[in-house]
């Protein structure tokens, strides 16, 4: 059995199906590990949800920030934003069935090998893996409970900027959600820098670094993440990042957990201006997918 982790799909259904064909994915024999943000921005989010939900146990899914945004709209606590492409889901005849399924997905998924853990964005520097799972489970419990509407109503916002053990209630759930589904940069003590979104080579400072720079070099587990299209593929013994900006005209990327093979398909979406090569950006090996493209199968 092969386990294929796939970066942010965001409604790019045609690319997803092309990628599953290219990796020769066989339901019942193989599994997909989807790092969150199944929906939004792309053209066919409804089709993505239907396809993944129908896979049942052949797909492992964690929630991303766009997935949570969709659920918050369904809960009636916020409205669609400019650029959202979620209306076909909300008006579909099977909308409630699909969104009930989505709402029951976790924030962190653990592989049975005890080594790989999948989540959308990142883990706070001060958390152990056990801490991260504990905090994720508390949010998941709120998501699945009869008071989920209150969770969504208090989900938005960039404060508190840092998790502390003394936090309770909505404040704790909000900062945990931000860490697991929105974080890119933070300080060494875990204070979030939510406005920093560019590639590490351009946005890092002495005090604000990518979240993974502050993590201990513990090779007993490997985190599989997405969320950060400006980062692209990053592969180290402790971290694999897979968002290569398909919805912005980049690629959709799959990674085989057993063989460490990368496979890509080209996006059918219009290439966004910020996806064009930056002359100031000269990545070195291990920092960006462009630097390790020799390991990747492109189409």
% of the chain beyond a pLDDT of 90: 86
Q: Single out the residue of 109, 131, 114 nearest to residue 216, CA to CA.
A: 131
* Average pLDDT over the chain, rounded to an integer: 92
CB distance 103 to 73 below 8 Å: no
Q: What is the pLDDT of residue 277?
A: 56
Average of per-residue pLDDT across 55-81: 98
- Kindly tell me if the per-residue pLDDT of 216 is higher than 70: yes
pLDDT tens profile 237-248: 999 999 999 999
Average of per-residue pLDDT across 260-285: 74
Q: What is the pLDDT of residue 273?
A: 77
Q: What is the pLDDT of residue 288?
A: 41
Q: What is the pLDDT of residue 202?
A: 84
Average of per-residue pLDDT across 176-201: 95
Q: Set out the domains of the chain in order of their start, with CATH numbers.
A: 3-297 (3.60.21.10)
Q: Single out the residue of 63, 38, 65 nearest to residue 49, CA to CA.
A: 38
Average of per-residue pLDDT across 122-133: 97
Question: Which two three-digit tokens encode residue 289?
Answer: 């997918």
Q: Which of 216-220, 224-228, 276-280 has the lowest mean pLDDT?
A: 276-280
Three-state SS string over 227-278 comes to CCCCCCCEEECCEEECCCCHHHCCEEEEEECCCCCEEEEECCCCCCHHHCCC
Average of per-residue pLDDT across 213-221: 93
pTM of this structure: 0.92
């Amino acid at each position: 059995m092969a386990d294929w982790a796939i970066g942010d799909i965001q409604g790019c259904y045609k690319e997803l199906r092309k990628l599953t064909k290219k990796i020769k994915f066989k339901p019942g024999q193989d599994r997909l590990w989807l790092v969150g943000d199944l929906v939004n921005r792309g053209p066919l989010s409804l089709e993505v949800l239907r396809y993944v939900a129908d896979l049942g146990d052949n797909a492992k899914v964690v929630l991303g920030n766009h997935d949570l945004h969709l659920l918050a709209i369904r809960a009636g606590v916020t409205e669609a934003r400019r650029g959202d492409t979620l209306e076909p889901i909300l008006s579909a005849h099977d909308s409630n069935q699909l969104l009930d399924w989505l709402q029951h997905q976790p924030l962190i998924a653990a592989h049975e090998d005890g080594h790989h853990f999948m989540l959308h964005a990142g883990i706070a520097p001060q958390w152990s893996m056990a801490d991260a799972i504990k905090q994720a489970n508390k949010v998941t419990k709120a998501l699945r409970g009869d008071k989920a509407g209150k969770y969504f109503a208090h989900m938005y916002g960039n404060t508190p900027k840092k998790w502390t053990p003394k936090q309770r209630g909505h404040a704790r759930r909000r900062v945990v959600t931000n860490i697991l589904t929105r974080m890119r940069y933070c300080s060494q003590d875990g204070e979030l820098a939510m406005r920093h979104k560019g590639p590490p080579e351009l946005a890092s400072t002495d005090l604000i670094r990518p979240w993974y720079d502050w993590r201990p070099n513990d090779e007993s587990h490997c985190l599989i993440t997405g969320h950060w299209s400006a980062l692209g593929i990053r592969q180290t013994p402790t971290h694999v990042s897979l968002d290569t900006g398909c919805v912005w005209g980049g690629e959709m990327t799959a990674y085989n957990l057993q063989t460490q093979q990368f496979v890509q398909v080209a996006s059918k979406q219009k290439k966004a201006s910020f996806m064009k090569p930056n002359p100031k950006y000269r990545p070195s090996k291990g920092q960006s997918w462009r630097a390790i493209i020799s390991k990747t199968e492109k189409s």
